[in-house]
Amino acid sequence: MKEHLEELLAQSMLHLQREGVLPSGDEPEIQLERTRSPDHGEFATNLAMVYAKPAGKPPRELAQAIIDRIPRSRQVDHMEIAGPGFINFFLQRCALTGVIKDVLRQGEDYG
């Protein structure tokens, strides 16, 4: 699931580069982490805060631009902007079942 969300974020960032919102060049480094609280979804990224300065935009504005360009995914229920510009991902229940299967399959190597 993490890899799927990273790919969605990478596609969004590529769109922003093509539109000139972000400087083109290096492939953006995607940092996506599990959240500590289910109130914040299952995964979160600080991508908008990292790239706000190069984009010349406030982090929350860039976060909205990133969300607006993320391709639709059946695994993602919705996304929210939190705090200074975190993007929180809330997954569909069927996607959570897949995560549980991954944890069981990978055991201690998961994460």
Question: Of 63, 92, 65, 94, which Cα lies nearest the Cα of 80?
Answer: 63
pLDDT at 102: 65
Please state the domain extents for the chain: 2-109
CATH architecture of 2-109: 2-Layer Sandwich (3.30)
Kindly tell me the number of DSSP H helices and DSSP E strands found in the chain.
Answer: 4, 4
Of the listed ranges 27-31, 32-36, 64-68, the least confidently predicted one is 27-31
pLDDT of 35 = 93
Residue range 40-56, pLDDT digits in tens: 999 999 999 999 999 99
Identity of the residue numbered 54: P
Question: What's the pTM value of the predicted model, to 2 decimals?
Answer: 0.82
Among residues 35, 30, 33, 67, the alpha carbon closest in space to that of 51 is found at 30
| 3-class SS of residue 2 | helix
**Tokens of residue 20, six digits:** 């000139």
